[in-house]
Structure 1
Amino acid sequence: MRTIKGPGLFLAQFIGTDAPFDSWHNITRWAAGCGYAGVQVPTNDPRILDLDQAAASRDWCAQWAGQGSQNGVVVTELSTHLQGQLVAVHPAYDAMFDGFAAPEVRGNPKARQEWAVDQMRKALTASKHLGLTAMVTFSGALAWPYIYPWPQRPAGLVEEAFDELARRWRPLLDHADSCGVDLCFEIHPGEDLHDGDTFEMFLERVDNHPRAKMLYDPSHYVLQQLDYLDHLDIYAERIGMFHVKDAEFNPTGRKGVYGGYQPWLKRAGRFRSPGDGQVDFGAIFSKLAAMDFDGWAVVEWECCLKHPEDGAREGAAFVKNHIIRVTEKAFDDFAAGATDRAANRALLGLDR
């Protein structure tokens, strides 16, 4: 068993134009002041991380990470959610996802996809330079518009989508392996990898690649009505990262999983600050400790009600209170006797 590291904070929801959220120096000091020991860092905002520099220079990485350490936090992992999304985009989403890309490739899906792959490779190399062993991303989606089978999906459509998804990701998984970094796909609605079945479909097509892992976020499973505790038992060997994010699901006679096109506040399924939703984090932390999870408990704050700064501060304390310092001995060791094979055989009646 291992004691989970934490608390960590995913910075994506907090980066902004005003202090203390406007620079690497300021935001790391703020996170440490909230009680965090680590930060998970998005790679798409140069105010926080210069990805080109990080990919090019170990010395630059050491200086950048050192500033965070001086302010009281270590870097837990890098995030490439937005770039990973652009590795595979169905044309229906071209306009909406274009804003994730650099201005010079917008409006050009082929150039955008090549840019995204290059960004992914740079982020993996930067992770290596930083001494990190895991990186989070989205898988992107080619089949998502066909999630509900009406009209009936043509035979082979989903299979072709996943074949292509695997073709695009296999070289990146190989690069991740050369960097010694696990590529952790956040299992998330809107992505082709959105539950256990779809992850397995992908895994089969990349030959069970050892670097293909999951980021485990129970909030997305609550909103899908998937058993998030059983999921841990099934995929224990593939859980590479962990987001502490809460959610609640309160269906009515008017709405359920699909949400009725309502804003977050009026949906049946809503994200909440840690401890304010329905996720059984006590059971989750127990399972992760028992299954030897060697990673960080990272708060990803999203809530339709609470102020983000309150959620961040409370989230740090919430994680601290849930991390289990694992025991080094059994609770009943005091009653143990000395090992004596002859005595054991006698107790079993084997030498009569």
Structure 2
Amino acid sequence: MSRPVTLFTGQWADLKLEDLCKKARDFGFDGLELACWGDHFEVDKALSDDGYCQRKRDLLEKYDLQVFAISNHLVGQAVLDKIDLRHKSILPAYVWGDGQPEGVNHRAAEEMKNTARAARKLGVSVVNGFTGSSIWHLTYDFPPTPKSMIDDGFQLLADRWNPILDVFQECGVKFALEVHPTEIAFDIYTAERSLQVLDRREEFGFNFDPSHLIWQGVDPVEFIRSFPDRIYHAHMKDAKVTLNGKSGILSSHLSFGDSRRGWDFRSVGRGGVQFEDIIRALNHIKYEGPLSIEWEDSGMDREHGAREACQYVKNVDFKPSGRAFDAAFSD
């Protein structure tokens, strides 16, 4: 049986969930990865209303859709970040509060604990998301950065996320960090260091997403090979490097969709990601979870793109072989 192909709802949060369910079923998806914003999945309501999670499941079942994970990227970002006005637009009002940074960090951490509790009530075992980073602004080492500042940034990951992960452990839920620029882990080396500082606790792993690796020059297949026991969820998302001698991979302070950028996201199969190699690598580590399409392409109609991407992923996925091709020649 092929892996289920799901649609991450984060880029569709302007639609009511039922409206999106109708579209997703028509597009050919097997399920949804529910974002914790819009009306798709609301953590506070999941915990305060005993019937909320069952109503969500009933709605999905009405359209023959499954759910394997929920995602709370936006709140997770505020756990480690140095808070500024940008965060107000992505956080629930009750997490933003008065906007004082220390309070925002604290409320974001509490909301991530509640997200684990809400996931348990919904009956899913994975929460995808971000951690944020207090040291992302130090990525380019000038003025020269004392090693202690980087050490402190990773220690802050342990200090703030271990209590959150304790709740994940209690709930039997795993947190899957989407390795991504602006997070504490954005490539293979920083992902490994994050695991180390958290004592490699089982509750912490990764939501594999090749689109955030390829433009950095990181091989997505090498990421899978580096963390075979920590790929808890997989996004199917594409990106394309478009360097023309005028721009670089730092994007020139140009918005997504601007043709002058040195790279941008593309609909699945229309960028530089080699998805067949990724499927082979996922087969090798025996990943059996969903292939979740996070559709982002500023140059394409999203409904066209989602339908096309769903079929593309179903076509490119395949089961591993159960036997060696030359087994017939053995004694």
Structure showing greater radius of gyration is 1
In structure 2, C-alpha distance between the alignment counterparts of 1:162 and 1:323, rounded to whole Å? 36
Amino acid at match of 2:114: K
Find the residue that maps to 1:135 and give its secondary structure.
Answer: strand
Deviations 1:255-281 (A, max 9, x none): 221122223332111110011111100
Amino acid at match of 1:299: I
In structure 1, C-alpha distance between the alignment counterparts of 2:244 and 2:143, rounded to whole Å? 27
Find the residue that maps to 1:237 and give its secondary structure.
Answer: coil
Alignment partner for residue 290 of structure 1, among 280, 284, 293? 284
The question of 1:231 aligning with 2:223 is answered: yes
The question of 1:160 aligning with 2:162 is answered: no
Amino acid at match of 2:25: A
8 Å Cα contact 1:41-1:77 kept in structure 2: yes
Amino acid at match of 2:40: I
Find the residue that maps to 2:215 and give its secondary structure.
Answer: helix
8 Å Cα contact 2:10-2:37 kept in structure 1: no
Amino acid at match of 1:134: V
How many angstroms does 1:186 deviate by?
Answer: 0.5
> What's the counterpart of residue 127 of structure 2?
135
Alignment partner for residue 265 of structure 2, among 262, 271, 278? 271
Find the residue that maps to 2:206 and give its secondary structure.
Answer: strand
Amino acid at match of 2:103: A
TM-score (norm 2): 0.93
Alignment partner for residue 29 of structure 1, among 22, 25, 29? 22
Corresponding pairs, count = 327
How many angstroms does 1:327 deviate by?
Answer: 4.0
How many angstroms does 1:334 deviate by?
Answer: 4.7
How many angstroms does 1:86 deviate by?
Answer: 0.8
How many angstroms does 1:234 deviate by?
Answer: 1.1
In structure 2, C-alpha distance between the alignment counterparts of 1:223 and 1:108, rounded to whole Å? 34
Find the residue that maps to 2:12 and give its secondary structure.
Answer: coil
Alignment partner for residue 306 of structure 1, among 300, 310, 313? 300
8 Å Cα contact 1:4-1:297 kept in structure 2: no
Find the residue that maps to 2:265 and give its secondary structure.
Answer: strand
Deviations 1:228-247 (A, max 9, x none): 21121111111111110011
> What's the counterpart of residue 182 of structure 2?
190
Find the residue that maps to 2:213 and give its secondary structure.
Answer: helix
Find the residue that maps to 2:79 and give its secondary structure.
Answer: coil
In structure 1, C-alpha distance between the alignment counterparts of 2:51 and 2:330, rounded to whole Å? 53
In structure 2, C-alpha distance between the alignment counterparts of 1:107 and 1:53, rounded to whole Å? 23
The question of 1:244 aligning with 2:242 is answered: no
How many angstroms does 1:57 deviate by?
Answer: 5.6
> What's the counterpart of residue 95 of structure 1?
85
In structure 2, C-alpha distance between the alignment counterparts of 1:243 and 1:258, rounded to whole Å? 23
Alignment partner for residue 313 of structure 2, among 316, 319, 324? 319
In structure 2, C-alpha distance between the alignment counterparts of 1:139 and 1:60, rounded to whole Å? 27
In structure 2, C-alpha distance between the alignment counterparts of 1:72 and 1:15, rounded to whole Å? 20
Find the residue that maps to 1:324 and give its secondary structure.
Answer: coil
In structure 1, C-alpha distance between the alignment counterparts of 2:230 and 2:48, rounded to whole Å? 30
> What's the counterpart of residue 259 of structure 1?
251
With over 3 angstroms needed to count, the CA separation of the structure-2 counterparts of 1:326 and 1:66, relative to structure 1, is farther
In structure 2, C-alpha distance between the alignment counterparts of 1:181 and 1:51, rounded to whole Å? 15
8 Å Cα contact 1:51-1:126 kept in structure 2: yes
How many angstroms does 1:40 deviate by?
Answer: 0.6
How many angstroms does 1:109 deviate by?
Answer: 1.7
In structure 2, C-alpha distance between the alignment counterparts of 1:250 and 1:24, rounded to whole Å? 35
In structure 1, C-alpha distance between the alignment counterparts of 2:140 and 2:194, rounded to whole Å? 19
Alignment partner for residue 15 of structure 1, among 13, 18, 23? 13
Amino acid at match of 2:235: H
Find the residue that maps to 1:270 and give its secondary structure.
Answer: strand
TM-score (norm 1): 0.88
Amino acid at match of 2:165: L
In structure 2, C-alpha distance between the alignment counterparts of 1:155 and 1:131, rounded to whole Å? 42
Instruction: Give the unaligned 5+ runs of structure 1.
Output: 338-352
Find the residue that maps to 2:319 and give its secondary structure.
Answer: coil
How many angstroms does 1:326 deviate by?
Answer: 3.6
8 Å Cα contact 2:82-2:101 kept in structure 1: no
How many angstroms does 1:70 deviate by?
Answer: 1.3
8 Å Cα contact 2:238-2:268 kept in structure 1: yes
